[in-house]
Chain A
């Protein structure tokens, strides 16, 4: 109780409340505009939050992170275009509902499910916080190194079908982190005798380039799309009633969101996939899924909104971000000399609980805002893409230039912008680069510290948590190898079944000869298989 009151005390400030309001409303707006997304917004706002108190800055960013998915459901349901990437599954059941004239019902259900997911995860984590506070101190250098390694491996293999390039890009991120002056031996690494490379490559410059500038280039290069909005009819409160009729789907989806959110590198997509599959398998009407099923919509929205609060667990407890957005938030901690990790849980528990409470309040604010302002909010969907590109390019300048007023930073960001643009054009992931940069730095420091007290390689995993993490890494790799082998077998089968006959003359002759020899073989075998009594010549009369 004392802990809770200290946490409330941290939040009960006008600037924190204002930050919550701005973050939640801004997040919904950003989420509702397809083509912007929380990563772009957080990247742009990051330098602006450095001058604020840690709790204020983090509340703004958390607000955007937590509420953008609410907003992302609006275009997903109304125009079949997800506002944020994680709302892709919402289009499966949301848009068919709109097509049959139930847009308001779909929106209301999505808001209610999102609210349930958000509140469920925050409540779970507040209850779980004392346990976490007891476990977190058990994490030393070796445990954090292995947890970061596990996170990186999970991020790479989460990109199914693109694992190899995701791995290469994660290593590229690790490489970027090593550029500059090495902090222990003070030796230069990959600076090519250039003074501007001595201080290394700034994470925020890379993030702004890869997410914000690349998105601006992508939108400017593309075409505007014509958007037709369906008029909304009916009340928005019916979703809460409908949600209460599916407590099992909502509860299980929320639990999947919390579990998957806590594992670094897994995140919303896996949580949604598992929740949706569970909902479909356990439904009485599985055939409705993908054609406007309310259970499908609940599963998708509940699970993705349960992730943000859970994703703060590895960040706060271990200092390990599990995805790009939490990696960006890590820099806010570093700027204010707040080092997230086991010690934060031991020494500053009210701060952690305050962040969770902020998320709780945020969900309430967002729901109230959406229930009252959806009618006007849907108009932001109509903002033309290229104009958005102009806007993002203008705002990106603030993000990059305000860091150090450096033209070089802007040039580096522009280079990463082009790189991100190419990645976008090729549908390749940029997230492994950011996580490689962040986790690479953590791994380097923790491995160095961990190995100092290790005599044999086996000593590295002689503690219970290190052993569990090591077994998890082996298990994840084994599962991935199994997946690769199955995919390879499927590909082989598909290749054989789709094989076409050659029409070349030589090949036709070859097939003809093959056919004739087979037929002849059949005849010969048939003839030989018949019983023919041995001829003994003409019988002599008895």
Chain B
């Protein structure tokens, strides 16, 4: 390990890929500055609609490049590959989250949350009856606190429409 690597704040693995992607994205955004922003005639330089995007994207590219240059190791190694795999596997949780978001307007907040929490708890390894009961309790508590008491704006489920009148209204309002 070199002296620079020893003094580097945080892990060295994965840094170079992040820095490269950041710089490439910044340069791409910089190349689009002309087409994605407008220069207004008869307007002061600092009040131009293009001024702040130019400062921001220019700053991103400049500081990103300086950061890349200052990295203790720029070459990619096996440790970087392991790190990228961890980033990739995190996408599974994104998928869980997005499926949950899509299911709520269909099934309703309470049933969707109950199913989501139980399945996710099962997936991450909490399979004992005690933990599953705790998970179910947690799901109900979240819905009761946020939807029933705090009345946050979450729509009722489409399946509630098939229920009889009074129950339908009650569920749409509270769960």
Cα A164 to Cα B44 with chains together (Å): 31
Give the nearest-CB partner of B146 in chain A. Answer: A398
Known: A175-B29, A217-B94. A394 touches B116 (CB 8 A): yes
Kindly identify, within residues 436 to 451 of chain A, every residue whose CB is under 8 Å from any CB belonging to chain B.
440, 443-444, 447-448, 451
Q: Does A322 contact B (CB under 8 A)?
A: no
For the A-B complex with A177-B52, A190-B29, A451-B47 known, give 10 more contacts whose Cβ atoms are closer than 8 Å. A165-B19, A165-B63, A189-B50, A221-B86, A386-B126, A387-B131, A387-B134, A396-B97, A397-B97, A495-B4
Kindly identify, within residues 107 to 162 of chain B, every residue whose CB is under 8 Å from any CB belonging to chain A.
113, 116-117, 120-121, 124-126, 131, 134-135, 138-139, 142, 146, 150-155
Ordered nearest first, which 10 A-B pairs have the shortest CB separation? A427-B10, A171-B59, A168-B63, A175-B56, A161-B9, A164-B67, A174-B56, A187-B38, A402-B152, A167-B63
Q: Which residues of A contact B9 (CB under 8 A)?
A: 160-162, 427
| Contact indicator A175/B57 (Cβ below 8 Å) | yes
| Contact indicator B49/A189 (Cβ below 8 Å) | yes
Q: Does A516 contact B (CB under 8 A)?
A: no
Q: Does A151 contact B (CB under 8 A)?
A: no
Q: Does A366 contact B (CB under 8 A)?
A: no
Q: Which of A51, A168, A216 has the most CB of B within 10 A?
A: A168
Cα A171 to Cα B55 with chains together (Å): 8
Give the nearest-CB partner of A451 in chain B. Answer: B46
Q: Which of A187, A421, A447, A451 contacts B40 (CB 8 A)?
A: A187
Give the nearest-CB partner of B47 in chain A. Answer: A448
Q: Which residues of B contact A414 (CB under 8 A)?
A: 94, 97-98
Kindly identify, within residues 4 to 45 of chain B, every residue whose CB is under 8 Å from any CB belonging to chain A.
4, 7-11, 14-15, 18-19, 22, 26, 29, 32, 36-38, 40, 43-44
Interface string of B42-72 (1 = CB under 8 A from A): 0110110110110111111001101100100
9 of the cross-chain contacts (CB-CB < 8 Å) are A160-B9, A171-B58, A187-B37, A187-B49, A190-B53, A387-B126, A414-B94, A422-B18, A425-B87
| Contact indicator A48/B152 (Cβ below 8 Å) | yes
Residues of A in contact (CB 8 Å), total 69
Give the nearest-CB partner of A190 in chain B. Answer: B36
| Contact indicator A189/B120 (Cβ below 8 Å) | no
| Contact indicator A178/B52 (Cβ below 8 Å) | yes
Q: Which of A47, A393, A444 contacts B97 (CB 8 A)?
A: A393
Q: Does A94 contact B (CB under 8 A)?
A: no
| Contact indicator B90/A391 (Cβ below 8 Å) | no
Q: Which of B37, B43, B63 has the most CB of A within 10 A?
A: B63
Q: Which secondary structure dominates where chain A touches chain B?
A: helix
A296 to chain B, nearest CB (A): 24
Q: Which of B49, B59, B154 contacts A398 (CB 8 A)?
A: B154
Q: Does A133 contact B (CB under 8 A)?
A: no
Known: A168-B60, A425-B83, A448-B47. A189 touches B3 (CB 8 A): no
B147 to chain A, nearest CB (A): 8
Cα A386 to Cα B124 with chains together (Å): 7
Give the nearest-CB partner of B59 in chain A. Answer: A171
Q: Which residues of B contact A167 (CB under 8 A)?
A: 59, 63
Cα A221 to Cα B153 with chains together (Å): 30
Q: Which secondary structure dominates where chain B touches chain A?
A: helix
B97 to chain A, nearest CB (A): 6
| Contact indicator A386/B60 (Cβ below 8 Å) | no
Known: A190-B29, A418-B87, A448-B46. A491 touches B70 (CB 8 A): no
Give the nearest-CB partner of B12 in chain A. Answer: A426
Give the nearest-CB partner of A443 in chain B. Answer: B52
Cα A481 to Cα B3 with chains together (Å): 21
Known: A48-B146, A386-B125. A164 touches B90 (CB 8 A): no
| Contact indicator B67/A168 (Cβ below 8 Å) | yes
Known: A387-B131, A426-B11. A418 touches B60 (CB 8 A): no
Stretch at the interface among A9-17, A245-253, A403-411: A403-411
Q: Which of A175, A185, A440 contacts B43 (CB 8 A)?
A: A185
| Contact indicator A395/B142 (Cβ below 8 Å) | yes
Q: Which of B44, B58, B120 contacts A393 (CB 8 A)?
A: B120
Cα A170 to Cα B64 with chains together (Å): 11
Cα A390 to Cα B93 with chains together (Å): 10
| Contact indicator A174/B55 (Cβ below 8 Å) | yes
Q: Which of B18, B49, B55, B154 contacts A402 (CB 8 A)?
A: B154
Cα A174 to Cα B59 with chains together (Å): 10
| Contact indicator B15/A175 (Cβ below 8 Å) | no
Q: Does A401 contact B (CB under 8 A)?
A: yes
